[in-house]
Amino acid sequence: MDIVQTGLWGFGDGPLIIAGPCSAESEDQLLKTAIALKETGRVHLFRAGLWKPRSRPASFTGEGFRALEWLRRVKTETGLPVTVEVASPEHATAALEAGIDAVWLGARTVSNPFSVDAITSALQGTDIPVLVKNPLSPDLELWIGAIERVYSAGITKIAAVHRGFTPYDRSRYRNLPKWELAIELRSRIPSLPVICDPSHMSGRADLVPEMAHKAFDMNMAGLMIEVHIDPAH
Residue 200 CB, nearest approach to Mn ion (Å): 6
Sign of the dihedral defined by the CA atoms of residues 83, 84, 85, 91, in that order: negative
Residue 52 CB, nearest approach to ligand PEP (Å): 6
Neighbours of 57 (CB within 10 A): 6
- Using CB distances below 5 to 8 A depending on partner kind, what does residue 106 bind out of Mn ion, ligand PEP, none? ligand PEP
Residue 2 CB, nearest approach to ligand PEP (Å): 26
Q: Select 78 or 111, whichever has its Cβ closest to ligand PEP.
A: 111
Q: Select 44 or 133, whichever has its Cβ closest to ligand PEP.
A: 133
- Using CB distances below 5 to 8 A depending on partner kind, what does residue 107 bind out of ligand PEP, Mn ion, none? ligand PEP
Q: Select 78 or 175, whichever has its Cβ closest to ligand PEP.
A: 175
Contact region for Mn ion (CB under 5 A) — 15-23, 34-42, 79-87, 139-147? 15-23
Taking CB atoms, the residue at the shortest distance from ligand PEP is 106
Q: Select 151 or 165, whichever has its Cβ closest to Mn ion.
A: 165
Helix (H, G, I), strand (E, B) or coil at 92: helix
Contact 50, 63 (CB under 8 A): yes
**Residue 136 in contact with Mn ion, rule: CB under 5 A:** no
User: Shortest CA distance to 160 belongs to which of 138, 137, 191?
Assistant: 191
CA angle 212, 217, 218 (to 5 degrees): 95
Which positions lie near ligand PEP, rule CB under 6 A?
22, 49, 53, 85, 106-107, 133, 163, 200
Residue 56 CB, nearest approach to Mn ion (Å): 16
Contact 175, 167 (CB under 8 A): yes
**Per-residue binding letters, 16-35, with Mn ion (x by CB under 5 A):** ------x-------------
- Using CB distances below 5 to 8 A depending on partner kind, what does residue 131 bind out of Mn ion, ligand PEP, none? none
Rounded CA separation 42/187 (Å): 28
Would you call 39 exposed, middle or buried from its count of C-beta atoms within 10 A (0-12, 13-18, 19+)?
exposed
Q: What is the DSSP letter of 4?
A: P
Helix (H, G, I), strand (E, B) or coil at 231: coil
User: How far is residue 28 from each of residues 46, 75, 90, 130, 158, measured CA to CA in Å?
Assistant: 15, 13, 25, 27, 31
Q: Select 22 or 207, whichever has its Cβ closest to ligand PEP.
A: 22
Residue 104 CB, nearest approach to ligand PEP (Å): 7
Residues that bind Mn ion (CB under 5 A): 22
